Amino acid sequence: MEEINHFSHEKHPLKLINSETIVGASFGGGEKISQFIGCNACEKPISIGFTYGCIQCFYFLHKTCIQLPPTINDPSLYNHSLTLTHMTNYRSWKCVVCRIRKKPGVFSYTFEKDNIYFFKACIDCCVSRITRKAEADTIKEEAKMKVEHEGHPQHTLSLKLRPVAVFCDACKTKDEGLFYECNSGDFWIHKTCASLTHTINLPHHPNHKLVLVYSLPEIFFNFWYYCEICNEYIQQNEWLYHCANCRYFVHIRCALNTEQASGNLRNVSSTSFVDEVVEDLLEFPMLETFTDPLKLLHLDKTTDESKEIKHWSHNHPLILNVAHHGNNTHGIFSSDPIEVCHGCVRPLSLPYYSCKDRCSFSLHKYCAELPLKLQYPLHPDHSLVLINAAGHGIKYKCIGCFSYGNMYLYICEICEFYLDVNCAFLPQTIKHKSHNHPLIQVIDPEPLCSACTKYFEGISYACKPCDFILDMYCAMRSPHSLDHKYCKGHKIPLMYPPIIDHPEDFYCDICEEEMHPKLPLYYCHKCKNSFHLDCISRINRRENMLYKGTRNVSYHKHPLTFVRRKKTPKYVCSVCNQDINASNVGQECVISVFVMNVILRNYESSIMSLFP
């Protein structure tokens, strides 16, 4: 073990010891506990690393304090040479520089004559003076040299000390201190920014090294990009580290700040509360499109199965069905008509109630058991009341999904708050693959979705600390994978950026527009096909509308009947030749081969009858 003799402790040599062994040690023979141990030279705590000490006398010195020069000469401090002194002869004394009173026994730089101290200064003040003087001398020498830098090739740079804060043209932060300045006076960069390494490795992007560039490459000007660590906008003229193949960008200040990088809001661990509940949350995207929340949320709920009930929304008794008798059984052709629930307007599934008098009214069992009053967290001032919109002769626009509906909804007449039953029971908190933290249900005025970058209205799911928000459709309606005729024989997965090793631009195979590479997309690695979320799976704003009856149109000689069918590639409109699968509702002629999209020609005003 290394030992030294030191003038401040002549009784015993000082040994080099691990600080951890003394900070947690027990010197009285008792239990080892963590304790404060200060350096006898500077009073600052002994912490990690190694220190010199005498265990027998409980005397410890930092390695840096051991290495203090025995004398210093600084005319700006005092006009005589100063000697390092162990102040054992004073109860307390005051530093002439910082005017702070010091404890007896610490070190000082002094000038002493005839046993009288004419000057006493603490080692902190003296060492800082020495350090600043050395730095100033270094700056003077370096300032004589002209430096060429790739980040500013048009002029040479000179090192200068800036006492007033200026903006660094590299990292865009305002600071004072050492800067390299262009002789023109219009360009400043920190000395530390001037010496950045050309490449770095970041744990957030382990696949490739990040390369330093002095401005955003022009090939990326088509879209806005945000720092992967702080989520702030990347300016075109600022220095950054990037991976071109993955379109991964980080500010240089974020890349170098390892504490911020490891504590990035998008990657920090969840709070203890979230850790307790996160396992019980629904996780999206799901394998299938999440269009029937009531069914999913009531799977494990069992109640009394009355064979016959009298329901408030229908004039006739309803009988319980536990076996299929209609067109919703598995194994039928995909083009078969679909029977839907007259409450939630979703395909019927067992068990469900149907009218005993054989009219066309059907109702899921769980829809029949919906509470007549609801305390909705996002509308806390009033209770919501369940009504049948068709029975009141009204159509509504849901505040949650902003879709039109004409069946069951929860309503607050005071506030004109309309909430479809499918939105009323959506989970308050979810997990989502696109974000590391749970997302909480909110209703904000026209927020910007982080997935599709579109402003929207209605329910969204947000992580407020990260400023991350998904509209309801991007959060829930985009399944894990989809079928499409362009990729026969396999599904197209939903991908989240960055897409590794894809330097080429993305173009949607449906709308043929260039796609933002930092947004979610459906992408087939095998076929190299790319799709916008809303192109491959269009939003149906009328999925809560129940269409029944017939209508007459001027451009077809027979009446058209409203029919909802299962999805099929051949279900296209005879008028506009567009896919009808977005709504699954067509207007068909039972005499000739003619089908028309339900959204054509102002269909709401043309409905002849909603119910028989």
CATH of the domain at 213: 3.30.60.20
The answer as to whether 290 is a domain residue is no
The answer as to whether 45 is a domain residue is yes
pLDDT value at residue 25: 53
Give the CA distances from residue 612 to residues 78, 256, 267, 342, in Å, rounded to whole numbers and listed in that order: 106, 71, 56, 13
| β-strands 506-507, 595-597 pairing | unpaired
The helix/strand/coil state of 127 is helix
The answer as to whether 105 is a domain residue is yes
489 and 532 together in one domain: yes
The answer as to whether 428 is a domain residue is no
pLDDT value at residue 335: 54
553 and 610 together in one domain: yes
Q: Which residues of the chain have pLDDT under 70?
A: 1, 23-35, 139-145, 185, 258-279, 289, 291, 298-304, 324-336, 555, 565-572, 574-585, 590-612
Long-range own/partner contacts, residues 164-172 (CB < 8 A, 24 or more apart):
168/193, 169/238, 170/194, 170/196, 170/214, 170/238, 170/239, 170/252, 171/238, 171/239, 171/251, 171/252, 171/253, 172/235, 172/238, 172/251, 172/253
End-to-end distance of the chain based on CA atoms, in angstroms? Answer: 99
The answer as to whether 38 is a domain residue is yes
Q: What angle do CA 395, 399, 404 make, to 5 degrees?
A: 30
User: Percentage helix, strand, coil, to 5, in the chain?
Assistant: 15, 30, 55
* Closest of 130, 131, 40, 118 to residue 79, by C-alpha: 118
Asked if 40 contacts 72 with a C-beta cutoff of 8 angstroms, the reply is: no
What is the distance between the alpha carbons of residues 406 and 395, in angstroms, rounded to a whole number?
5
Using the 3D structure, point to which of 66, 82, 103 is the last residue of a domain: 66
DSSP, res 473: I
The answer as to whether 139 is a domain residue is no
7 and 60 together in one domain: yes
532 and 563 together in one domain: no
pLDDT value at residue 184: 74
> What's the structural domain count of the chain?
6
pLDDT value at residue 92: 84
Domain CATH code at residue 508: 3.30.60
226 and 251 together in one domain: yes
Q: What is the pTM of this model?
A: 0.64
| β-strands 282-284, 429-432 pairing | parallel
The answer as to whether 330 is a domain residue is no
What range defines the domain where residue 525 resides?
480-536
The answer as to whether 322 is a domain residue is no
